[in-house]
Amino acid sequence: MKRERPLILVSNDDGITAPGIRTLVMLMKELGDVVVVAPDGPQSGMGHAITIGNTLRLYKTDVFDHWGVEAYKCSGTPADCIKLAKHHVLKDNTPDLVVSGINHGSNTSISVLYSGTMSAAIEAAIEGMPAIGFSLCDFDPDADFSHTHALVLKIARQALQNGIPKGTALNVNFPPRRDEEMKGVKICRQARAKWQEQFDERFDPNGRRYFWLAGNFVNYDKGEDNDEWAIANNWASLVPVQFDMTAHHAISEINENWSL
């Protein structure tokens, strides 16, 4: 039987009390019935990790009771949250849309591989559910999400009305709030860029050595059809991403040149 309103599952990687997920829950309530399953604390940079050697804990929480939204906090990763939501919380009540975020910081280019926000969306896509990860390219603790509202709603509505291609999730990044209004949405590719890591060597009070990961983001891409260009030029970027990581172009090359 068709639902009166779409069922929308919301998750993130910044934790269930983060400002970005509050914004996303508020917006998704305009479009459908919302259920939240999100980490109980920050899980940024966890990528697609899942919990297999430790216990997973899931507790109902009243964090969104004032909006009448059912919510659960999970001790695991963003991917764990989606698995628990589908197979335990919602059981056979498959969501019409899964949204993750709004992440506090950029998930453009190679960052999609490290992102817990996007791994929640990709896990949903693996499970056959339409999914979008939203991120704001602003690391300021007091970052303003308000300029993203209209486009978050527009993109989510389009996903509900028209669907998302099978085997893909959408990686949506918004530029930080600027004096000029955001120009709109660019459907584009992932930029060819990477993090150039540096490891800061330090010593704890007992003289034991440890390392702190640091470094700089390096963009090698000179094109104007990628997500880094879009953000730099005040567009929101929308990149369809896939979980099939087969390098199809390399199959024939290896067949031709290798003796196996």
Tell me whether residue 144 is annotated as binding.
no
Partners of residue 35 on adjacent β-strands: 9, 70
Check the annotation: does 179 bind a ligand. no
- Is position 44 annotated in a ligand binding site? yes
Whole-number Å distance between alpha carbons of 143 and 136: 9
Q: What is the rounded end-to-end Cα distance, in angstroms, of the chain?
A: 54
Alpha helices (H) in the chain, listed in sequence order: 19-28, 78-84, 111-114, 116-126, 149-162, 227-232, 248-257
220 SS3 class: coil
Give the DSSP letter of residue 242. E
Q: How far apart are CA 148 and CA 145, in angstroms?
A: 6
CA distance 130 to 122: 9
175: DSSP letter: P
Tokens representing 175 are 């530029």
Cβ–Cβ < 8 Å for 10, 24: yes
For residues 238 and 81, give the distance between their C-alpha atoms in angstroms, rounded to a whole number. Answer: 24
103 assigned binding-site residue? yes
What amino acid is encoded at 51 in this protein?
T
Binding residues: 13-14, 44, 103
Binding residues for a divalent metal cation: 13-14, 44, 103
